Amino acid sequence: MIPLLRPHRSVARPLLVLCGLLAVGAHGSAAENKSPPAEVRVGAYVNALSDLNSTNNTFIADFWIWAVHPRTADLRPLKTAEFENARDYRLSLETTEDYGTERYHAAKIRGVFNHAWDVRNFPYDRHQLTIALSEAQLEDDRVRYVVDAANTTFDPALVIEGWRIEKVGITTGTNAYQSNFGVPGKVGGSRYATTTLSIFIRREAGGLFLKLHAAVYIIFIVSLVTFLMDSSKDGFFSARIGLISGMILATVVNSHRVAATLGGNNRLTLPDKIHIVTLLVLLIALLVSLATRRLHALGKSPQAQLLDRVAAPVCLVAYVAINLALVQIARAS
């Protein structure tokens, strides 16, 4: 019987350590041989903004976009990217040129982009319009976006009626998806480079605000007149009740008109709050009318007249104070 040969511990342990070092070295060499992602420098120049539509939750933008990368990288960044929040867009005047060791791609874009308009603070609302561009073919281990912040800006001659552009910025990031989109042999999710062009705008529509609210402010002033109408007389009382009822209806109609003009979402806006306060004043005027009528019927005419004289200035002061507070809150938001 041939005896089984076993390596001595003093020999086996160095062999195991050597194998481990070789394995680590091989893994490190593979990691070192893996090419880093190609950097694509992205920037934009905004030429025009139009049709800022809070009813349809869209806006139209015209801008130049460019992408610069090393010539050694075989990339077509404007061909393999997509605008994530675009309803529709058109690419034109596309160009590709080489400058030394870099390749330059540029194109003119005109598109309709989605934006969730928040008009709660109208006409003191500010918005960050975004245009999101994402690489659609190469993952972030092959392509990485970096910003060309120094050259990203907007045309100083750009004018938007009722709006002011405060600034334009650009950022980059990564979109992570919980799917590999069915790529054979790939395990786990996917990650793609993304860049976002942000256009910061502020509304300048004080005239539109007055135009939309002139009716409701006139209604409030007329409501104060009802406190001067003598409820003890049937004719005046009927006219007083009819006038208040008509103003309530007019306020509701004007509220719907303003909401249709602003669009946006179902959040409570500054115009909504102003109309609600006006309706509350009209409700108080109606209740005071009924109360004074009752006091006159009970033979308490002095108390009825006092109630009218007190209610009118109280409603005036409260209405003005609440309106000023609402406007101040909207401006500060």
**Is 80 exceeded by the pLDDT of residue 42?**
yes
Residue that wins the pLDDT comparison between 256 and 21? 256
**Is 90 exceeded by the pLDDT of residue 20?**
no
Confidence of residue 298 (pLDDT cuts 50, 70, 90): very high
Residue that wins the pLDDT comparison between 27 and 128? 128
pLDDT tens, residue by residue, 98-119: 999 999 999 999 999 999 999 8
**Is 60 exceeded by the pLDDT of residue 27?**
no
User: Quick one: which H or E segment has residue 210?
Assistant: helix 206-225
Residue that wins the pLDDT comparison between 243 and 210? 243
Q: What residue ranges do the domains of the chain occupy?
A: 38-203, 206-332
What's the mean pLDDT when you consider all of the chain? 87
Asked whether 68 and 78 are in contact (CB, 8 A), the reply is no
Residue that wins the pLDDT comparison between 230 and 184? 230
Tell me the three-class secondary structure of 87-114, residue by residue: EEEEEEEEEEEEECCEEEEEEEEEEEEE
**Is 70 exceeded by the pLDDT of residue 75?**
yes
Sign of CA dihedral 316, 244, 288, 302: positive
Percent above pLDDT 70 for the chain: 88
Confidence of residue 215 (pLDDT cuts 50, 70, 90): very high
Q: Does 3.40.630.10 match the CATH number of domain 206-332?
A: no
pLDDT tens, residue by residue, 230-288: 999 999 999 999 999 999 999 999 999 888 888 756 788 999 999 999 999 999 999 99
Looking up tokens 């609402």 gives: 326
- Residue 40: per-residue pLDDT: 94
Asked whether 148 and 213 are in contact (CB, 8 A), the reply is no
Judge residue 112's burial from the number of C-beta atoms within 10 Å of its C-beta, 0-12 exposed, 13-18 middle, 19 or more buried: middle
**Is 90 exceeded by the pLDDT of residue 221?**
yes
Q: Give CATH superfamily name and number for 38-203.
A: Neurotransmitter-gated ion-channel ligand-binding domain (2.70.170.10)
Mean pLDDT of 138-157: 92
